[in-house]
Structure formats: structure tokens, C-alpha cells
């Protein structure tokens, strides 16, 4: 079956339109449908001197394999014209409209997966719409109580126990209930989406040196370790809580299928240092498949021909791989 992947083109003043057009230049074993303003994409292609023909996509039309240098666009109108690099909060609703269309299409089966180009969280909030990130927005719009953000390269996967919240709010958000849900989702999605049976998960501590036996914080002793022990008894393969500074050592990198960091900037700098531009962001625990780039809107590069589309291409490939894995599992389930 040919998969149809919706690509939300992200913040219109950023590099989302640019990298979508760049990725459209190559063949894909899927149908790609960009969700964004068709005229914006035409103008950006002209500015970047990319020979990509923008074609109208109508919802429900038969799926056809992506043709290089063509881009099917489900036209979603901007509120106001865009200057690359210049944010305009009047276009914030447009950005959310593109996400809503992709989510609805994934839920009703029109799309097999969605792949998101970066959005500028600040300008959406400036428009008066509270917005923490795609991860939280997707959870809310799909009525999913708990999701997990995971970024992955070919050789390293880092998931987060907490996502976009101020550092001062992190300790209170690390509860046994939340950690337990996160670890169950991580365990189950590493198996179902990545084919890793009985995945080994290395869990980081919250405090320096994982609390140094309680002298540098007690969350490891009071919250994390007892929970890990309980989950081990339920069969999860868990290591930790590990001191975060030494957790990413060669032996642990060899052993662990994924790392769980307690907060955004504990885990993501390591991952992005290891593979910025090649990593992808996957939301685990959703009823739909969503992958994304590992970078932001790069306003400084919009319309300038210097942005790389590597991470978007990886994100599209990641979605295709997850879907083929899901299909294999469904096939096996039918045979068994």
C-alpha cells in the first residue's frame, strides 16, 4: 500500500517551506502532501531557484507516488503575506490550521503519517494562543493523556520525562505516575515502532551525580529508584538512575536501546551534538504517526539557500520505516 505523508510546512517566515521544497526534489516511495499556502511555496521556490512545480492536492484524491521536482500542496491560506525571516503573529493561526488539517487527516485515514517542519513557539504565544510545542498540541488534539518526546539518530535515542516547561517546574513534574507512564510508552513503542524486543532503557537521575546518595537531592532515592524497581518487577529492562554526566559512555551507549532524560536540556544537547541535522523527533504514545525535524525555524536562513533539508528527509524516512514496521506487525498478527 502506498503511504501518504502530510508535511506541515511550519512557520512561514522560517525555513520550513524551504526544506519542504528541497525534499520534494528527490523520489520518495510514498505520496507527499505539503500542507501550507501554495503561493508562499511558489514564491519561496522562485527565491531559492528551485525547479519544483506546485500542484493542487484535493482531499480524497487517489494516492500517487511522489514525483521528483513536483509538490502536491493542500492549499491552506496565509492570513498575511510573508517576508522570510520576519515573524508575524497574524499568521500564527495559519500555522495551527496546517497542524489541525494534518492531525484530522491522520485520524480519519486520509494520511498515513505526519511530518512536521519547525514552528516558532513564541510567535504563536504572541498571538495570544498558549502553545508549548507540537508534542503537547498533538496530545491535546488527539485526546491522548500522555505522550513521550523522543529524538533519535541512527545510533542514539533520547526520550524525555518532561518536555517544554521551565526548569524550576521540573522537579515537581517528575512523579512516579508520570515516569511510569513514560517508561511504559517508551518500552512499548520501542518494540512496536522500532522492532526492539525487550528494550534496555537507561534512565538518568535528576540531580548532579544522581543525587550523590541523597547529599545533592533526594528525588533519585524517593521517586526514581523505587519506581524503577517496581517496573523491573513488571519485566521492564531498566538501568539507573544514572548520573547524567557519565551516562553516555561507550559501554552504556552499546547496552542501552534508549536513554530517558529527566528534562529537555539534560538530554537534547547530547543528542544534537551527536547528530544535529540528522536526527529526528518522534512523538511516542499517539494514535497517529508523527515525526519531525531536530532543528528550529532558523529565521536567519529562510529564503537564503543555506538551510539543510537533511533532518526533514530523515524525518520522512523515519515515518516510512515506522509505517512499514507497523504494517509488518499487523501482517504477522493476521497470520498468527
Ligand X SMILES: NC(=O)c1ccc[n+]([C@@H]2O[C@H](COP(=O)([O-])OP(=O)(O)OC[C@H]3O[C@@H](n4cnc5c(N)ncnc54)[C@H](O)[C@@H]3O)[C@@H](O)[C@H]2O)c1
Closest residue (Cβ) to ligand X? 296
66 in a labelled binding site: no
97 in a labelled binding site: no
| Closest CA relative to residue 65, chosen from 17, 7, 155, 5 | 5
149 strand-pairing partners: 283
Number of residues engaging ligand X in binding (CB under 6 A): 19
Q: CB of 260: closest distance to ligand 4TP in angstroms? A: 15
Return d(Cα 57, Cα 95) in angstroms, integer. 18
Residues 269-298 that bind ligand X (CB under 6 A): 281, 292-293, 295-298
122 touches, from ligand 4TP, ligand X, none (C-beta below 5 to 8 Å by class):
ligand X
H or E, element range at 334: helix 310-335
133 versus 199: smaller Cβ distance to ligand 4TP? 133
Choose the binding region for ligand X from 56-64, 71-79, 93-101, 117-125 (rule: CB under 6 A): 117-125
- CA atoms lying within 13 Å on the CB side of residue 46: 7
Q: How far is CA 95 from CA 8, 66, 108, in A?
A: 8, 24, 20
Binding residue for ligand 4TP, selected from 203, 268, 280, 282, defined by CB under 6 A: 268
Q: How far is CA 114 from CA 96, 117, 304, in A?
A: 14, 10, 26
97 versus 292: smaller Cβ distance to ligand 4TP? 292
15 versus 40: smaller Cβ distance to ligand X? 15
Q: Quick one: DSSP state of residue 217?
A: B
Return d(Cα 91, Cα 8) in angstroms, integer. 14
Does position 23 interact with ligand X (CB under 6 A)? The reply is no
Contact residues: ligand X, CB under 6 A: 15, 116, 118-122, 134, 281, 292-293, 295-298, 300-301, 307-308
Amino acid at each position: 500500500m502506498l503511504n501518504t505523508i502530510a508535511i506541515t510546512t511550519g512557520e512561514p517566515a522560517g525555513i520550513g517551506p524551504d526544506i519542504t521544497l528541497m525534499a520534494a526534489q528527490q523520489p520518495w516511495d510514498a505520496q507527499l502532501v505539503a500542507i501550507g499556502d501554495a503561493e508562499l511555496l511558489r514564491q519561496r521556490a522562485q527565491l531559492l531557484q528551485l525547479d519544483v512545480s506546485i500542484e493542487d492536492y484535493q482531499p480524497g484524491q487517489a494516492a500517487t507516488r511522489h514525483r521528483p521536482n513536483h509538490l502536491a500542496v493542500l492549499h491552506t491560506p496565509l492570513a498575511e503575506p510573508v517576508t522570510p525571516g520576519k515573524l508575524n503573529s497574524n499568521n500564527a493561526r495559519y500555522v495551527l490550521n496546517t497542524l489541525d488539517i494534518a492531525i484530522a487527516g491522520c485520524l480519519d485515514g486520509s494520511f498515513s503519517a505526519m511530518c512536521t517542519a519547525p514552528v516558532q513557539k513564541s510567535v504563536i504565544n504572541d498571538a495570544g494562543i498558549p502553545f508549548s510545542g507540537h508534542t503537547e498540541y498533538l496530545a491535546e488534539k488527539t485526546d491522548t493523556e500522555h505522550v513521550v518526546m523522543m529524538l533519535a539518530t541512527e545510533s542514539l535515542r533520547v526520550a524525555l520525562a518532561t518536555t517544554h516547561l521551565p526548569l524550576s517546574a521540573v522537579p515537581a513534574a517528575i512523579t512516579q505516575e508520570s515516569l511510569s507512564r513514560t517508561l511504559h510508552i517508551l518500552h512499548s513503542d520501542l518494540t512496536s515502532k522500532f522492532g526492539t524486543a525487550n528494550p534496555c532503557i537507561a534512565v538518568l537521575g535528576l540531580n548532579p551525580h544522581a543525587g550523590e546518595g541523597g547529599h545533592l537531592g533526594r528525588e533519585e532515592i524517593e521517586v526514581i529508584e523505587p519506581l524503577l524497581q517496581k517496573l523491573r518487577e513488571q519485566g521492564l529492562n531498566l538501568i539507573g538512575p544514572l548520573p547524567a554526566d557519565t551516562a553516555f559512555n561507550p559501554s552504556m551507549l552499546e547496552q542501552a536501546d534508549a536513554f530517558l532524560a529527566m528534562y529537555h536540556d539534560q538530554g537534547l544537547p547530547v543528542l544534537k551534538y551527536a547528530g544535529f541535522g540528522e536526527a529526528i523527533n518522534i512523538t511516542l504514545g499517539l494514535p497517529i504517526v508523527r515525526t519531525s525535524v531536530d532543528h528550529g525555524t532558523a529565521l536567519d536562513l529562510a529564503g537564503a539557500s543555506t538551510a539543510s533539508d537533511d533532518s526533514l528527509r530523515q524525518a520522512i524516512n523515519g515515518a516510512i520505516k515506522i509505517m512499514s514496521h507497523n504494517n509488518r506487525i499487523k501482517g504477522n498478527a493476521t497470520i498468527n
